[in-house]
Amino acid sequence: MKTSCLYILLVFVTVVGCQLSVPSNQTHSSDVINSNQVIDSLIQLSNTNYKLKDTVKLPYDEYLKIAVEVALANNQSKRIAEIYNLIAKRHRNISEYSKAISFYQQSLAIIEEIQNDSLKAKTWHELAVVFRRIDYNAQALKLYMRVLEWAESNHDTLLMHSSLNGIGNVYISYNNYYDAIGYFQRSLAYQGKMKTNRLGMAINTNNIGEAYLFLHNTDSALVYLKRSFKINLEIGSELGQAICHNGIGMVYVEQKHYEKARYEYQKSLEINQKIGDLIYVADNHRNLGKVYMLTGNYPLSEEHLLKALEIGKTIGSNLQILEADKILSELYSYMQKTELALEHMRESMAYKDSITKEVSRQNSEAMDVLFRAEKQEREIVILKQKAQLDALQISRQKFLIIGIASFVLAIAVIILFFYRQRLLKEKLSQMSLEQKLLRTQLNPHFVFNSLAAVQNYILHNDKIAASDYLVNFSRLMRNILMGSGSDFIPLENELEILNDYLKLQQLRFQNKFDYRFEISNNIEPQTCMVPPMLVQPFVENSIEHGIRGIDRQGLIIIRFNREQNLLLIEVEDNGIGLQEHSSEKQKSNHVSMATKITKQRMQNLQSITKRTCKLEILDKITHKSLPGVLIRIQIPFNEGNG
């Protein structure tokens, strides 16, 4: 150790001394070459020391700290990012995932500054592996897709096969085994072109074997797993051998060859304990516990399962805790320890709910990123349109100024000008309202939540539910777009839009609420004309900010009544009401904007028809001593073509 420290000091002094003694006319490139050699030597020393047995393994040791200082002194940001990636990978391999993510994020921040796309893609791939290990599958899939897109466009075969392998593993997590096998086969095809990447071939072959095992095709699974083990043995990969031992053990369990399975699991455990990767050690203990349970050796089964549970809680893996708790509950049932069985069953259910919620949150975040990107593109288009309208308006004003020839003609032109400007202003106002309405008709999160729900149905192979959901969603979108270009649409069409929207929201909130329409007998839905999407923002508000926050069954009632020449519309719910909602209202631009736009539309309608339009928002607890909100809309009754 003293020799190593002296070597570090010698290297550091040599680097600093070289920098001080270099003549001013010497090129900077020679400094970079010298510092690169020093950094490479320090990294090599760090790797050698890290692999030594019976030593404290520090992912960020003194060698790497000095390497970072050398890189900083020579403005070599890329080398710093590479060192951070090495540190992050070490943390990942010993299950310190939060530290691994932190170093990968620091590396990505540096890479963004130096704009190195190749290193960025490699770092994305490494970060995706961390997300996959801690069950953040949506984030992992997003990063793998980015890497694959970059690798294909830059013909990087190594990254192509690595990202395809990663995508296959994510699909394994989603229980979509046939698609997973397809991605693994594509990855193998790229490896066949490379011929030198034996480790990649071993990994993909093992993954195909595990996918066949999940499909209960044990014969094919055993063929691929043994093939993978042979490759790992040839290249000397201990981790690969441990993974194959574990997979072969799972096949033997499926075939009820329990003694063979126990042997394979034990071999895998011995290797993984030597390596120190706790997540694999937890897998081995859990699998051994299950085998001992199946063979009736309950004490040994309990010992291994409790070790698996302890490791899962230590490294913070919800999935490890869930799986260990499930088998422990089953074991204690066999041992007739009912209280312990119930305790572990409750804990497993709690972690299952936690995992489900986290997966849903990650999917929402991924889709929210896509939404923000699309929103920015739309805003750019709108700004360009506004610039064109401004340029057109300025051009017309110049033309009118030049066209004034006489007093009479000037008066006539001015009158005509203001008249046309008024019409143009009203038209532009109406167009602006329509554009705002299209952006606020449906909460963007509802659209992306709908797409996430469809994705979830597809990934879980629930074709019927996915098809029904898509039919309602596509019909809703089509009806909205068809009606958006008209000032009035038949009430029948408006009811169809509301019905489709409420059905989708029922699916989204798992039938948390009921709804019904009440239409008076003196209204013909086929001939009664109403402004499109006038009611929907208030229905959306009832769901998102009224019913969503209650723990009872919600109810929304939408009424259409005719009183002489007026159409009265009511939206009533039994939600939390306005008083409880008032603190939340400040946080939601969408709701206030939708209400403001609806009022503006009604003012325009009143200006055009010269008849009174009203909007009332009442808190039922104040007026009827009942929970919920009552919306009252009064507009002129319109029968005919509008």
- Nearest-CA neighbor of 494 among 593, 633, 628, 619? 633
Check residue 581 and give its pLDDT: 62
CA 136 from centre of chain:
9
CA nearest neighbour of 280 among 326, 245, 236: 245
Q: How confident is the model at residue 434 (pLDDT cuts 50, 70, 90)?
A: low
Specify the pLDDT at position 369: 36
Strand order in the sheet with 489-490: 489-490, 528-530, 638-639
How far apart are the C-alpha atoms of 502 and 495, rounded to whole Å? 10
Answer yes or no: is pLDDT of 327 > 70.
Answer: yes
The pLDDT tens digits for 579-605 are 666 655 544 444 456 677 778 778 877
Which of 510, 534, 548, 542 has the alpha carbon at shortest distance from 636?
Answer: 534
Q: What is the mean pLDDT of residues 255-269?
A: 94
Give domain status of residue 68, yes or no: no
Give me the pLDDT at residue 6, please: 43
Report the distance separating Cα 102 and Cα 84, nearest Å. 9
- At residue 427 the predicted structure's pLDDT band, cuts being 50, 70 and 90, is low
Tell me what the mean pLDDT of segment 73-101 comes to: 91
User: Across residues 627-633, what is the average pLDDT?
Assistant: 91
Read off φ and ψ for residue 614, nearest 5 degrees.
-135, 150
Number of domains in the chain: 1
Residue 560, pLDDT > 70, answer yes
Rank 76-90, 306-320, 342-356 by mean pLDDT and report only the highest: 76-90
What pLDDT is stored for residue 381 in this prediction?
59
Whether residue 433 has pLDDT greater than 70: no
Tokens of 635: 């507009």
CA angle 586, 590, 596 (to 5 degrees): 90
Element of type H or E holding 530: strand 528-530
Largest CA distance in the chain: 110
* Residue 194 located in a structural domain: no
Q: What is the dihedral sign for C-alpha 277, 283, 284, 286? A: positive
Give, in degrees to the nearest 5, the angle at Cα 240 between 235 and 242: 125
- 471 or 285: which leads in pLDDT: 285
At residue 63, the pLDDT reads 92
Question: Using one digit for the tens of pLDDT, what is the confidence trace for 539-552?
Answer: 988 898 889 888 89
Question: Under a CB-based contact definition with an 8 Å cutoff, are residues 320 and 286 in contact?
Answer: yes
Q: What is the pLDDT of residue 587?
A: 46
Of residues 574 and 429, more confidently modeled: 574
E-assigned strands of 135-270? none
* 296 in Cβ contact with 333 (< 8 Å): no
3-state secondary structure string, 493-523? HHHHHHHHHHHHHHHHCCCCEEEEEEECCCC
Q: Which two three-digit tokens encode residue 393?
A: 């308006």
Percent of the chain scoring above 90 in pLDDT: 41
Q: How far apart are the first and last CA of the chain?
A: 90
In a domain, 133, yes or no: no
Helix, strand, or coil (residue 572): strand
Residue from 217, 160, 224 nearest 192 by CA:
160
pLDDT of the residue at 604: 78
Residue 87 has pLDDT above 90, yes or no: yes
Rounded Cα gap, residues 102 and 100, in angstroms? 5
Residue 137 has pLDDT above 60, yes or no: yes
Domain assignment present for 488: yes
Strand duo 528-530 + 489-490: pairing: antiparallel
Tell me which range, 303-307, 367-371, 421-425, is most confidently predicted by mean pLDDT. Answer: 303-307
pLDDT category, 18, cuts 50, 70, 90?
very low
Q: State the pLDDT at residue 194.
A: 64
CA distance 164 to 184: 7
For residue range 568-585, what is the model confidence (pLDDT) as tens digits? 999 999 988 876 666 555
Q: Is 198 exposed, middle or buried (0-12, 13-18, 19+ CB in 10 A)?
A: middle
**pTM (2 decimals)?**
0.46
Residue 567 in 3-state DSSP? Answer: strand
Residue 21 located in a structural domain: no
pLDDT bin (cut points 50, 70, 90) of residue 1 is: very low
Angle at 337 between CA 336 and CA 341, to 5 degrees: 110
Instruction: Please state, in angstroms and as integers, the Cα–Cα distance from residue 41 to each residue in 3, 48, 68, 157, following that order.
Output: 15, 11, 12, 29
Residue 264: what pLDDT?
Answer: 94
- Whether residue 550 is contained in a domain is answered as yes
Share of the chain above pLDDT 70, in %: 81
Q: How many CB atoms lie within 10 A of CB 112?
A: 11
Cα gap 519→322, rounded to integer Å: 51
Beta strand 638-639 with 489-490 is: unpaired
Q: What is the CA radius of gyration of the chain?
A: 33
Please check the confidence at residue 422 and state whether its pLDDT lies above 60: yes
CATH number of the domain that residue 522 is part of: 3.30.565.10
Q: What is the model's pLDDT at position 429? A: 66
pLDDT at 192: 67
Residue-wise pLDDT tens digits, 447-500: 666 677 677 767 776 777 777 778 878 888 877 777 666 778 899 999 998 998
State pLDDT tens for residues 152-182.
Answer: 999 888 888 889 989 999 998 888 999 999 9
Residues in the chain: 642
For residues 246 and 264, is the Cβ–Cβ distance under 8 A? yes
Residue spans of alpha helices (H) in 22-76: 28-51, 62-73
Q: What is the pLDDT of residue 81?
A: 94
CA distance 642 to 636: 11
Mean pLDDT across the chain:
82
Cα–Cα distance between 540 and 546 in angstroms, integer? 9
What type of residue is 448?
Answer: F
Predicted local distance difference test score (pLDDT) of residue 466: 74
- Checking if the pLDDT of 198 tops 50, the result is yes
3-state secondary structure of 557: strand
Range of the domain at 463: 456-639
Residue 364 has pLDDT above 90, yes or no: no
Return the pLDDT at 21. 43
Helix H or strand E encompassing 555: strand 554-563
In this prediction, residues 286-295 reach a mean pLDDT of 93
